[in-house]
Amino acid sequence: MAQQEIFPYASQDVQEVAGLVRGLEASAKRGPGAPKKSFTCKKSTFVIAGTDGVTVDSWRFNDWDYKKPDLPTYARGLFTFRTKKGKPEIAIRGYDKFFNTDEVTKTAWSNIQKNTRGPYELTTKENGCIIFISGLPDDKLLVCSKHSTGARSDIAASHAIVGERWVDRQLQALGRTREDLARELRRRNATAVAELCDDSFEEHVLAYVGDCAGLYLHGLNLNLPEFATYPGLLVHKFADEWGFKKVEYLIKDNVQDVQAFLEGVAETGAWQDKEIEGFVIRCQARDGEGEPWHDWFFKYKFEEPYLMYRQWREATKAVIGGRAPIYKKHKKITDEYLMYARRQLASDRTLGAKFNQNQGIIAMRNGFLRERGLTGAGIIQMENEQGGGGPAEVTKDVLLVFVATIGCGKTTVAVALQKLFGWSVIQNDNIEGKKARSQRFVGEISTAFLAGSPVVIADRNNHQKRERKQLIEDIRKSVPRATIVAIHFVHEQPGVSRQECQERIRQTTRDRVFSRGDNHQTIQASTRSQAEVVGIMEGFLHRFEAVDVLTIPDEWFNAVIDLDPTAPSRENLETVVSRLHALYPKLFGDMPTGDDMDEVIESILRDYKPALNQTFFSSSKKDNKSTQKSMKLTQNLRSSKPPKIDYFCIRLPTNPILSVLDSHFRTQDAMTQRFYRQLQQSRRIQPSFHVTIIHRANSKEFPDVWERFNAMQTSALSAINDANTDNSRLDPELETCRVVLERVVWDARVMTIVARLLDAQEKGLGTTNEIAHITVGTANQSIRPKESNDILHNWLSGGSGEATGIYELEIKGNVVIDGSVRGVLQQHN
């Protein structure tokens, strides 16, 4: 089948463009008689060199006007001209103005989540100046900077001239001419958008010298009033064909991944060892539910506390180099940090050299924050609110979140605080049943705040980051002003091995739990077998993830109070109360006396009994006969057969594959498109995609493979085994694998993509099928996806074409997709 060139295309509509120009003219009118409007447009006219007086008009609004709702266009960088016949045309079309997250309503994360769709293409913000290139009639190439073109004495115009020189240079290297490029861009009705990065001309913060200098193509826009832009793949292709440098981009399938990725990069401030300002994210958006999708960009800029961390890093390097550190922002805390850093550098002479090689930066920061019990976010909040509403003013809405394992003394400390101050304690162990436990836990906390408790204590282990993330995220939704403090039972000590630390904790907590006996809602130590209780406790110890204030979610804590699990609860109580008093002096009146604290702890150790008993696996209501409960537990454990695995596969994100199919089929002839369109229209494209590794049906033929993946599944499940969750239906990631999409192959019954597994050898992955593939869809329900195997077998032996009834289409551009190896459960189980 002949390969056709693929690119998005639409021609200009004279009426539509005329309407746009009329709107712009009206906005540009000033003085008496001009219509009243909230914005003004600046029109500048340029004569194109080398023509007999052809002019182009540039239209620009003030930056702040782009936030207004009724502009005639949001294109930043827009040039129009009139053809010889007097028809108005768009010559250059920049991107629609895009905003930072949370800068306008549309870029609030909640709206981004609701009203955008992938694939999301992420590019780092390049650091030069923007250049637009397009083709005018008579093969005349037009090169512009944001708002001007040609040789004028001002800087902006000279950008365009330098850009033009780079275009000449790259065309010459390819043996092509300006006319060639002009013709091609005009044929596509497109503007090439590139970043001019050339330090010999103008220095920017980031260095672009030697081979790095040049024009970095980052987009191709259709010259239309509405914003429409090429996918990254095709931008790269064009860049290759015309000698531009390329801007790397990453694809993320869904908005959660985008957000997690950006927040992760913000954490370190660097990505791929490059200092970057932020990312531009390209995707599609709609104005609301049911509205059409259109191309849309937004920005993510690194902000505080990351800029403060950067400042700390630079200041530390200055200290190491014997220079005086210079900094203006975050002065007080940076002074304090540097005192700490100097101490560390003096105590270990090797630290400085490592730090200069970018090692130990986070550890240094972490050490300081930990020593101070502060978080970056907490510092910024404190700084922002100094003089009003800061921590000094906190009087209510404080949530204390334990991070602990079983028997650390959470309930003892919590109940003591309740007795001393009347604060609410929400015990996770009192929440019955296993459905939606987390939501109900958060619900009860919010209710306690609503009921007027100034402090609420979340009595749960929260020993894993995911629990803390969920808890903090949910609380932030219901009580946005909450000050959240971690009460961290520290499980590791500097200079002591993890094993030794755990052993000490094990001794203390086991002693406590076994002498507590049945006096607990879920862990009835006298009734259950000792091994069972030890097993549950060990699970928590193994899974324990310490608070790390420099990673999500722990950076969201406003403060962290460290406790020692092996210390008496009396001592821990005093630590909590005195630290809270220091952090939030208005939260409660005077410090309780030592006698008060002695007394409450003694009475709790003597008399405290939890309100109800329950077992984790029981869904029945209150029942105090714990022996019966325990029997029920054992029965439940025995009867709950794990669901069977149907097959193991490499699960792939849906949107990137759909978009690859779409961009490849879009410009094919009708014949080639036919089966693809049929699948689309009859909704027979698979809702999700995967490469099968092994199916249960082949397990006898390949017992080793089947066993191996089953073992991986069992071990992954036991790693997330949590006494509080029913994990039998979880599908943990067993491995990751990158998958290359090579070609689409189809007949009248099934369409499939031939795939190549990039990490197969290294990770011991593969498929028991003849060819690794992704079934796209089948013509009807009666055709099973496994028919892909048959068609691929026939394709291998007989090839494609009329004679075989099998067709193929090569996938261009080396499309690599991140896949996730998973076990898929049988549906009917």
Q: State the nearest-atom distance from the C-beta of 438 to ligand GTP, in Å.
A: 16
- When CB distances are held under 5 to 8 angstroms depending on the partner's kind, the choice from ligand GTP, Mg ion, none that residue 266 binds is none
The candidate with the shortest Cα–Cα distance to 394, out of 215, 587, 110, 160, is: 587
Tokens of 729: 């239906």
Q: Which stretch binds ligand GTP (CB under 6 A): 14-22, 511-519, 763-771, 787-795?
A: 511-519
Which one is catalytic: 43, 125, 396, 786?
A: 125
Least CB distance from residue 447 to ligand GTP, whole Å? 21
Q: Of 24-32, 212-220, 266-274, 508-516, which segment contacts ligand GTP by CB under 6 A?
A: 508-516
Identify which of residues 523 and 776 has a Cβ nearer to ligand GTP in the complex. Answer: 523
Q: Is 269 in the site for ligand GTP (CB under 6 A)?
A: no
Q: How far apart are CA 225 and CA 64, in angstroms?
A: 20
What the block records as the tokens of 247 is 């801007």
Q: Which of 194, 406, 550, 745 contacts ligand GTP by CB under 6 A?
A: 406
Residue 605, contacted partner among Mg ion, ligand GTP, none, CB below 5-8 A by kind = ligand GTP
Q: Find the binder of ligand GTP among 412, 663, 692, 713 (CB under 6 A).
A: 412
Residue nearer to Mg ion on the CB measure, 189 or 411? 411
Beta bridge partners of 699: none
Eight-class DSSP state of 313: H
Between residues 186 and 516, which has the closer beta carbon with respect to Mg ion? Answer: 516
Instruction: Give how far the C-alpha of residue 106 lies from the chain's centroid of Cα atoms, to the nearest Å.
Output: 18
CA–CA dist 509, 799 (Å, integer):
68
Is residue 463 a contact residue for ligand GTP (CB under 6 A)? no
Nearest CB to ligand GTP, comparing residues 97 and 460: 460
Q: Which of 683, 694, 677, 807 is nearest to 747 (CA)?
A: 807
Largest CA distance in the chain: 100
CB of 488 to ligand GTP, least distance (A): 13
Q: How far is CA 827 from CA 89, 124, 643, 697, 754, in A?
A: 57, 42, 9, 15, 26
> Residue from 223, 229, 569, 788 that binds ligand GTP (CB under 6 A)?
569
Q: Which residues have CB under 8 Å from 245's CB, separation 6+?
A: 214, 215, 216, 217, 239
By CB under 6 A, name the one of 409, 553, 777, 819 that touches ligand GTP: 409
Nearest distance in Å: CB 429, Mg ion: 6
Q: Which is nearer to ligand GTP, 408 or 809 (CB)?
A: 408
CA distance 77 to 806: 47
Return the one option of ligand GTP, Mg ion, none that residue 813 interacts with (CB less than 5 to 8 A, by type): none
- Residue selected from 190, 262, 369, 523 as contacting ligand GTP according to rule CB under 6 A: 523
389: Cα separation from own chain's centroid: 31
758 binds ligand GTP (CB under 6 A): no
Q: Is 497 left (phi over 0), alpha (psi -120 to 50) or beta?
A: beta
- Residue closer to Mg ion by CB (options 280, 561) is 561
Residue 514 burial by Cβ neighbours in a 10 Å radius (0-12, 13-18, 19+): middle
Separation CA 657–CA 664 (nearest Å) = 11
Give the binding site for Mg ion (CB under 5 A).
Answer: 410-411
Min CB(400)–Mg ion separation in Å: 14
Distance of closest approach, residue 572 Cβ to ligand GTP, in angstroms: 8
x/- map, 573-612, ligand GTP, by CB under 6 A: --------------------------------x-------
Minimum distance of Mg ion from residue 411's CB (angstroms): 3
Contact 736, 821 (CB under 8 A): yes
**Could you tell me the smallest distance in angstroms from the CB atom of residue 437 to Mg ion?**
15
Binding footprint of ligand GTP, residue count (CB under 6 A) = 17
Minimal distance, residue 407 CB to Mg ion, in Å: 8
User: CA 376 from chain center: how many Å?
Assistant: 20
Is 125 an active-site residue? Answer: yes
Six-digit token string for 633: 């537990």
Around 336, how many Cα atoms within 13 Å sit in the side-chain half-sphere?
12
Complex with ligand GTP: residue 146 or 516, whichever CB lies closer = 516
Question: Within its chain, how far is the Cα of 825 from the centroid?
Answer: 27
Q: Which does 460 bind (CB under 5 to 8 A by kind): Mg ion, ligand GTP, none?
A: none
Residue type, 486: A
**Does the protein bind ligand GTP through residue 512 (CB under 6 A)?**
yes
Instruction: Kindly identify the residues of this chain, within the stretch 427-446, that bind ligand GTP according to CB under 6 A.
Output: 429
Structure token pair of residue 148: 């001007």
Nearest by Cα to 608 from 432, 400, 445, 413: 413
Q: Nearer to Mg ion by C-beta: 351 or 604?
A: 604
Q: Is 418 in the site for ligand GTP (CB under 6 A)?
A: no
In the complex, the smallest distance separating the C-beta of residue 789 from ligand GTP, rounded to whole angstroms, is 52
Q: Give the shortest CB-411-to-ligand GTP separation in angstroms.
A: 3
Strand partners, 32: none
Instruction: Decide: is 407 part of the binding site for ligand GTP (CB under 6 A).
Output: yes
Nearer to Mg ion, 77 or 407 (CB): 407
Q: Could you tell me how far CA 164 lies from the centroid of its own chain?
A: 38
Q: Which is nearer to ligand GTP, 425 or 649 (CB)?
A: 425
Distance in angstroms (rounded) separating the CA atoms of residues 778 and 12: 38
> What is the pairing mode between strands 424-427 and 455-459?
parallel
- In DSSP terms, 647 is beta-bridged to 695, 824
Binding segment for ligand GTP (CB under 6 A), chosen from 510-518, 527-535, 670-678, 686-694, is: 510-518
The 10 Å Cβ neighbour count of residue 806 is 18
Q: Could you write out the three-class secondary structure of 615-670?
A: CCCCCCCCCCCHHHHHHHHHHHHHHCCCCCEEEEEEEECHHHHHHHHHHHHCCCCH
145 binds ligand GTP (CB under 6 A): no
With contacts defined by CB under 6 A, name the span among 79-87, 255-263, 401-409, 633-641 that binds ligand GTP. Answer: 401-409
- Nearest 5°: the CA angle 771, 776, 777 is 115
d(CA 425, CA 352): 46
Give SS3 for 701: coil
558 binds ligand GTP (CB under 6 A): no
Q: What is the residue type of 655?
A: N
Nearer to ligand GTP, 461 or 775 (CB): 461
Residues forming contacts to ligand GTP in the complex (CB under 6 A) are 404, 406-412, 429, 512-513, 516, 520, 523, 568-569, 605
- Which amino acids are annotated catalytic? 125
